[in-house]
Structure 1
Amino acid sequence: MKVFWWALASIVLLNFGCAPKADNTIHIYPEQSISHNFIGNGVQWSAYPHADTEMAEWGKLMTDEKWEMNYKRLDYMQPKLFRVLDQANWRYLVDFDKEGNPILDFNTPEIKAVEKILDYAQKNSITVMIGEWGTPFKMHDTDKGHSDKFSGAKDPKWINAIASYLDYLINTKGYSCIKYYNFVNEPNGDWASTKGDFNEWRDGVKLLVKTLRDKGLDKKISIAGPDAVTRYDNPRSTYPGLGWVEESAKQIDSIIGIYEIHDYTDHELVKSGGFREFHQKAADIAVEMNKQIIFGELGMTRNGQRNQDRVKADPFASEDSQMEVYDHSYGIYMADAIIQSMNAGFSGAAAWALDDAMHTLGDLGNKNELKRWGMWNSLGKEICNDPNDEKIRPWFFPWSLMCRYYPVGSTIVKTDSTGVEGLRLTAAVFNDGVTVAVVNNSNVPNTISLAVPTEKNMQKFIYEEGKSLVDAEGFPVPISTDINPVEIKELNVPANAFVLLTTLKY
């Protein structure tokens, strides 16, 4: 492979000259890697706890037809990563015996719903990070009187239940797609079952790893952590947000399989390029530990008066909603954030979230309190009396391309800086293929000179407000499938637009 890329680099120099800065050409350097063995980008997908079975709060609204709609859209997206979180008491923890020990049942209709996601992941070789929101009944406690059933994150009764569930999924069912376990959602948060107690979370992780080892599962699944919101500093927490990554590395690196964090980031931080600068700190820690790092949840902040005004105007949206998902702009910011993360060395990201129909505020099941963060709402007709709400939203366009055309095993490589404010790109090589994504997060159109290390013709997609090409299903369509890389020396990038170029074909 090394000989191939040195030869390819020679071709590039012959084609584009030996003085890369003389003509302000932006070069891509296939021999200079940022990260290897890219895991890939994807989404958070939950198994519709309010609508997945006859016994759910809304009944079984997620019919086979609804699942098939999701499968078809994911078939286009080709996500490489799913984050699948749940609660034991939603799925397999069905009761307690006289001694207060959990009674587990892995043959429930609720488990069958989760298996619809896992079956799809297994069939399509998608990496799954599975986990639970927190200690059962310490949050999402709709079962009154059970809050004392578990002492916390390091309660052996909960740990044993988790291990038994994973043993069923991995050994009995054969879900080899499950690679990582996410122990407690955002444990540094004051909303978490741990309330920001690092020691409680750490000790729970240690006990879980020991229990998995005892069951012979430690070679099949490892811990993803710390799952902290790194830009959030909980005053009640043992450490600040980024400190959770630092302390995980210092105290339990040997039992962390992959580093993983969250961010609902500020628009200006992304637009300025500061998003990469901040998260580079976490990526550097992972590199120092010789581990990969991913975003388990990535989105744009819902704070701000304009967004909350839009929430109030929507009778079905909860305060925990990002109404910008209906706008072209959300796709630009999410594309910009993922480009910056890949250039910082992250090996993938799961966007929050796939579908509005997955969750409600506090997961209490109130139909007028949907968490609107999705690429669509599978139950637009049934819940909101609006079939149009089931249509694909604009941000699917760039995010699906960032999933589809950055395959598992890609190498993210270094590029020259554009030198233009708000204009960024990231590139990857995969076998003899090349993909380049460019975002212009500014109000000014730009033309850049781009030297791509390939002689193959490329597909070109453009995400531009009111002009994005999509087919009848709402899937992105390239504006050209045979762009000569020589022609890319003059690449027009409209204002507030995203461009993807790739030699890969599907």
Structure 2
Amino acid sequence: MKNISKYFILASLIILVNACSTQTQTANKELITFNINIDSSTETLTNFAGFGAEWDSRNYLAYGVDKNDFELIKERLDWLEIPIVRIMMQTNWFFKQGVGYTPNSPDMQSLYRHLDYCQDNNVDVILTDWGIEPDWLKVSGLQKVDDKKYAEIIADYLDYLYNDQGYTCIKYFVLVNEPNYEVGDFSRWGEGIRNVYQEMKRKGLTDKIMLAGSGQSNADDWHINAVDHFHGIFGGYTFHRYEWNEFIRNQKFISYVRNLTDYVKEKDPEWRSKQVIISEAGMRDGQSTAINKNIDKFEYGMFMADYAIQALQGGAHGVLAWMLDDNSHPDFEWGLWKNKENNFEIRKWFYSWGLFIKYFKRDSEMFLPITRSVNLRTMAAKSPDDEWSYAFINYEDFDVYINVNNDFMGNEDLLKFIYKEGMIKIDEDGFPKSNDEIESEEGKFTFVLPANSTVVITSID
């Protein structure tokens, strides 16, 4: 037994020495370097809508989100400088059979609070009427989505919101959330689209609010049919996509999105002036209607950053995460922060998605350079104010050097934010703080991109 113990100890020491030697060699070895070039040959995307989120007022009343609570939410939105949101509308908030229009209903008052913020802060709104066919959305006196009375009510509330209340922030109107599920019949939904368009035209709204759609989820034939039938009246296109993590990780999402955006370019003569927006985005792994089991994990923030970059590489003009916060719907766990019952606690993925929202400005010229690595992602943005922002994702288990050479950028002082377990820095309000500062000389700068991280670098203060 003594000899066995002696040999065991000796063997253990040898293993320990070898392990330490390997770690030292790894730590001291020269890092792999990737060159990222931005020049006249780099793929670009214009008409950028920005990154945003779904922000619904539906359950704010039930959670008792009061004035003080809303001030906290406004502070977070102010920090984000969010450029675009999608907001739920329900016809039964505005109309009751036997009563008529109810613009002062509690649900409408709650909606106005959201729209007030958007109007005051130059936030584009995609207003979506959730429909009237599911049991929980039914409106007494209305039948199906092709009911002409339904279209009249929609045009009347849009007229009230835009002209009477002054909510010119409403940029798009979408008829029915995920109509392939909620309606299930393209012909009936299409008749509803025509009815709404005619009623909006009668009210003089078609030059003020653009119809968009189809808003489908997992039914690309609806997108194709919508482009075929309604490119003459749609001012933009939307679709939803909850994607598998492996699909994103293997960079297959680019071609999926490209197929949808290419179809718009092929069939719509006015495609250059129209945006294609993914108006609900999230991870399919762990998904249910109410929650995503991965929402509190660090990896969710990596996933959403990668999702966004690939969406733009596929030709999408914007991505809206589902969703902003958990107060919007009962017992939800999808938000950048939790609901009032859970003290509005900020989740980890607020860091990465918040940086994308804040620093990749609406109407930026987006640059999508080639990385020459299956484990590296990148994009860059030149803002309307000639500021620059960059995003980098490293899936490798080791750090790498990044050399950036941007022909269009001069000398800049840059902030570097690192989204990586153990390296995230936040201030007293839970907002991201920069980890480092970098100087560029004539558009050139070099930095270390940590293993398994997302990094945002920006010239915006």
User: What is the TM-score of this pair, normalised by structure 2?
Assistant: 0.86
Change (3 A) 1:327 1:487: farther
Residue 224 of structure 1 is matched in structure 2 by 212
Q: Secondary structure at the match of 1:210?
A: helix
Residue 87 of structure 1 is matched in structure 2 by 90
User: Structure 2, unaligned stretches of length 5 or more?
Assistant: 1-32
Deviations 1:360-394 (A, max 9, x none): 3xxxxxxxxx12101112312xxxxx44xx22111
C-alpha distance in 1 between matches for 2:352 and 2:167:
30
Structure 1 counterpart of 2:387, one-letter code: G
Q: Which has the larger radius of gyration?
A: 2
Superposed, which structure 2 residues align to 1:282-293 within 5 Å?
282-288=260-266, 289=268, 290=271, 291-293=274-276
Structure 2 counterpart of 1:103, one-letter code: G
1:66 partnered with 2:69: yes
Residue 357 of structure 1 is matched in structure 2 by 327
Superposed, which structure 2 residues align to 1:462-477 within 5 Å?
462-477=418-433
Residue 253 of structure 1 is matched in structure 2 by 231
Q: How many residues align?
A: 421
Q: Secondary structure at the match of 2:158?
A: helix
Deviations 1:160-179 (A, max 9, x none): 11111100000001111101
Residue 395 of structure 2 is matched in structure 1 by 441
Equivalent residue in structure 1 for 2:198, among 191, 196, 210: 210
1:377 partnered with 2:338: yes
Residue 54 of structure 2 is matched in structure 1 by 44
Give the superposition deviation at 1:83: 0.2
Superposed, which structure 2 residues align to 1:133-144 within 5 Å?
133-135=130-132, 138-141=134-137
Superposed, which structure 2 residues align to 1:469-488 within 5 Å?
469-485=425-441
Give the superposition deviation at 1:108: 2.0
Residue 15 of structure 1 is matched in structure 2 by none
Residue 35 of structure 1 is matched in structure 2 by 45
Change (3 A) 1:87 1:443: farther
C-alpha distance in 2 between matches for 1:501 and 1:253:
38
Contact 1:245–1:285 (CA under 8 A) maintained in structure 2: no
Give the superposition deviation at 1:33: 5.2
Q: Secondary structure at the match of 1:321?
A: coil
Give the superposition deviation at 1:465: 0.8
Equivalent residue in structure 2 for 1:395, among 338, 349, 352: 349
Deviations 1:118-161 (A, max 9, x none): 111111111000021111x63425xxxx6773221111111111
Structure 2 counterpart of 1:50, one-letter code: N
Equivalent residue in structure 2 for 1:127, among 106, 124, 127: 124
Equivalent residue in structure 2 for 1:149, among 141, 146, 153: 141
Give the superposition deviation at 1:351: 0.6
Contact 1:332–1:441 (CA under 8 A) maintained in structure 2: no
Report which stretch shifted further, 35-44 or 161-170.
Answer: 35-44
Give the superposition deviation at 1:111: 1.2
Q: Output the aligned Cα RMSD.
A: 2.1
Residue 25 of structure 1 is matched in structure 2 by 35
Change (3 A) 1:401 1:412: same
Report which stretch shifted further, 122-131 or 147-156.
Answer: 147-156
Change (3 A) 1:83 1:450: same
Residue 265 of structure 1 is matched in structure 2 by 243
Give the superposition deviation at 1:204: 0.7
Residue 153 of structure 2 is matched in structure 1 by 161
Contact 2:34–2:400 (CA under 8 A) maintained in structure 1: no
User: Structure 1, unaligned stretches of length 5 or more?
Assistant: 1-22, 53-57, 233-240, 308-317, 361-369, 381-385
C-alpha distance in 2 between matches for 1:401 and 1:409:
16
Deviations 1:305-324 (A, max 9, x none): xx7xxxxxxxxxx7631132
Contact 1:356–1:374 (CA under 8 A) maintained in structure 2: yes
Change (3 A) 1:203 1:487: closer
User: What is the TM-score of this pair, normalised by structure 1?
Assistant: 0.79
Residue 366 of structure 1 is matched in structure 2 by none
Change (3 A) 1:335 1:449: same
Report which stretch shifted further, 318-327 or 458-467.
Answer: 318-327
Deviations 1:166-215 (A, max 9, x none): 000000011111010011011112xx1x0x21111111111101100000
Give the superposition deviation at 1:487: 9.6
Contact 1:134–1:185 (CA under 8 A) maintained in structure 2: yes
Residue 378 of structure 2 is matched in structure 1 by 425
